[in-house]
Amino acid sequence: MRILPLLLAWSLACSGTMGTPPRGELPSPSPAPSSPPLRLGHHPPNLLLVIGDDVGVDKVGVYGVQSKGPSTPTIDGLAATGLLFRNAWSYPMCSPTRSTLMTGRHARRTGVGQLINSWADEHELAESEVTMPEVLSGYDSSLTGKWHLGSGRTDPKTHAMRQGFDWVAGSMGNLRDNDVGGGKKNLQYDYFHWQKNVNGRLEESRTYATTDTVDDAIDRMGAMKEPWLLVVSFNAGHYPVHVPPAKLHHSKGVTEKSSEADQFDATLEAMDTELGRLLGAMNGDQRDHTVVVFLGDNGTPDFGVRPPLDPDRAKGTLFQGGVHVPLIVSGPGVTHGTTDALAHTVDILPTFADLAGARITTQIDGVSLVPVLSDPSKKVRDFVYAEIFKPNGGPPFDHDARTVFDGRYKLVVDARDGTPTERLYDLKDRVEEGPNLLGGRRGRLTPAQTEALEGLRAEDARLQRDLVFGR
């Protein structure tokens, strides 16, 4: 396969600028800025948001978390030419995270605390919510790939367009459960044969879904007028597990009889390869005026987790394996290196608005990360937060759990039975949670731990007061 010039440049940058840390430890934070502050002249930048589905930090090589994982040279190259966030959080599953990305608001406000079924008559992201393309109203906007925020309550085929996107092509939800009516019964609903939605029109696609997403994205980069917003939302590596086309991955010997973890990693390698094709399709002038954000929508699913990480603390849980995700930003003026600054998927919308010079007039929970992009030693928030509740919509809930993290200590509150129970973890130098500091013989806290617990409880209480459904 031909090596794209841009990808080659990133590979060289990886070896000379940042490198890949030893497996099992995260890269060290940058001591000082190595690039000038963000200066984009009088022209707002193009904004490219790339979402990997079910991609935790253990599945991105440059994070160095997993001893055995997929090869991700394109994503690693983005980190070498941009800023890697070591403490970025999402929600533990896709629809809630995608809601935060589009609105900058936590799930309690939007009512999206669980997976949205594209075919069911249930709560979806309300059209009253002001979304990313609506905030960036002066931008041409396109979405390629997975949406997963509309339901059968209205019309999921047109939901993304009604939420502000000018052009949409991809799946309305997960490939396996994507039929919302009008589909052909012979569709297998997998990566090789699936139902595609193009601006509200259903088609049958036999193009490998990851490739199809990038094909459309490249077409849109050429068709849109600058400045543009392009959201590339991969289905990969979400279930169903499969073996991608051989030319797209590096996992030798992987077959349909291989473990789900091996097939999952091959799927992510295919995503990385196609991301390289997308970035390589930009001309030099276009790349110089584009800010690229890559992130995962939640942690790795249990079947993709490898030892020594715990598959019971993966996607769908509030453990680190469910909410700690890769976040990398690359573009004009972005400092090269790493940062320990806390960040959350709710922060992407205000960051894009800040870069574009757009005003946000609604209540949001996110903050702009632009100060950190200029100086990785800065911090713009003291806590990050995530939650799970069901059903979608407003309270009361059948299940209700939440977590708050201050960069070291993490509080988890389970309120499903009406009587909240708490767990406290110290995550210093840890990828996963250790012992519960509030459990058993460990009920005695040090003064520092007690102070941290009080701060976490206060933040949780503030959020429970402030986060009101529909406000």
Model pLDDT, residue 31: 39
Query: What pLDDT is stored for residue 184 in this prediction?
Result: 52
Query: Do both 411 and 434 map to the same domain?
Result: yes
The predicted structure's pLDDT at residue 238: 93
- Same structural domain, 255 and 367: yes
What domain range includes position 255? 45-381
* Same structural domain, 298 and 393: no
Token representation of residue 36: 């000038």
Residue whose pair of structure tokens reads 């007061």 in the numeric block = 465
Last residue of a domain, one of 381, 416, 435: 381
Q: Are residues 376 and 425 in the same domain?
A: no
* pLDDT band at residue 119 using 50, 70 and 90 as cut-offs: confident
Residue 94 confidence (pLDDT) = 94
Region of 213 please: left (phi>0), alpha (psi -120 to 50) or beta.
alpha
Q: Give the three-class secondary structure for 30.
A: coil
Instruction: Indicate the average pLDDT of the chain.
Output: 89
Name the pLDDT band for 189 (thresholds 50, 70, 90): confident
Answer yes or no: do 435 and 357 share one domain: no
pLDDT tens-place string over residues 335-370: 999 999 999 999 999 999 999 999 999 999 999 999
Residue 15 is assigned to a structural domain of this protein: no
Return the pLDDT at 444: 87
Residues 377 and 389 in one domain: no
Residues with Cβ within 8 Å of 55's Cβ and at least 6 positions away in sequence, in order, are: 237, 268, 271, 296, 297, 300, 325, 326
Confidence of residue 471 (pLDDT cuts 50, 70, 90): very high
Percent of the chain at pLDDT exceeding 90: 75
Ranges 98-112, 170-184, 313-327: which has the least confidence: 170-184
Does residue 116 sit within a domain? yes
How many angstroms separate the Cα of 317 from the Cα of each of 298, 302, 399? 10, 10, 12
Count CA atoms within 13 Å of residue 210 on its CB side. Answer: 27
Together in a domain, 367 and 444: no
Within-domain flag for 436: yes
444 φ, ψ (degrees, to nearest 5): -90, 120
* Mean pLDDT across 151-160: 86
CA distance 219 to 217: 5
Residue 9 has a pLDDT of 42
Shared domain for 445 and 358, answered yes or no, is no
Task: Show the 3-state SS of 282-295.
Answer: CCHHHHHCEEEEEE
Average the pLDDT over 128-148 and give the result.
96
Q: Is residue 7 one of the residues assigned to a domain?
A: no
Please state the φ and ψ torsions of residue 47, each to the nearest 5 degrees. Answer: -125, 120
Q: Does one domain contain both 142 and 182?
A: yes
CB 335 within 8 Å of CB 373: yes
For the domain that residue 397 is a member of, what is the CATH number? Answer: 3.30.1120
Q: Say what the pLDDT of residue 175 is.
A: 83
Residue 108 has a pLDDT of 97
pLDDT tier at 117, thresholds 50, 70, 90? confident
If one counts the domains in the chain, the total is 2
161 band by pLDDT with thresholds 50, 70 and 90: confident
- 202 membership: H or E segment, kind and range: strand 201-205
439 band by pLDDT with thresholds 50, 70 and 90: confident
Choose one of 363, 381, 399: the last residue of a domain. 381
Residue 26 lies in a domain: no
Element (H, E) at 319: none
Q: What is the pTM assigned to this prediction?
A: 0.90
Domain end: 381, 403, 426, which one?
Answer: 381
Lowest mean pLDDT across 236-250, 382-396, 434-448, 452-466: 434-448
- Whether residue 439 is found in the same domain as residue 391: yes
Whether 139 and 228 have beta carbons less than 8 Å apart is answered as yes
Answer whether residue 12 shows pLDDT above 70.
Answer: no
Banded pLDDT at 415 (limits 50, 70, 90): confident
Cα(344)–Cα(334) distance, integer angstroms: 18
Residues 296, 367, single domain; the answer is yes
CATH of the domain at 360: 3.40.720.10
Is 130 inside a domain boundary?
A: yes
Contacts of 357-360 with CB under 8 Å at 24 or more apart are 357/44, 358/135, 358/136, 358/137, 358/138, 359/135, 360/104, 360/130, 360/135
Where are the extended beta strands (E) located within 53-192? 82-89, 140-145, 167-170
- Reported as type and span, the H/E element at residue 97 is helix 94-103
Mean pLDDT of 233-260: 93
**3-state per-residue secondary structure call for 61-80:** HHHCCCCCCCCCHHHHHHHH
Q: How confident is the model at residue 43 (pLDDT cuts 50, 70, 90)?
A: confident
**Burial of 192 by CB count in 10 Å (0-12 exposed, 13-18 middle, 19+ buried)?**
middle
- What is the per-residue pLDDT for 443? 62
Q: What is the pLDDT of residue 416?
A: 75
Q: Of all residues in the chain, what percent carry a pLDDT higher than 70?
A: 88
Two tokens, residue 370: 């632009």
Distance separating alpha carbons of residues 390 and 119, to the nearest angstrom: 18
451 in any annotated domain: yes
> Is residue 337 a part of any domain in this protein?
yes
265, pLDDT greater than 90: yes
Report the alpha-carbon distance of residue 249 to residue 236 in Å, rounded: 13
Tell me what pLDDT residue 308 has: 93
Residues 361, 414 share a domain: no
pLDDT at residue 27 above 70? no
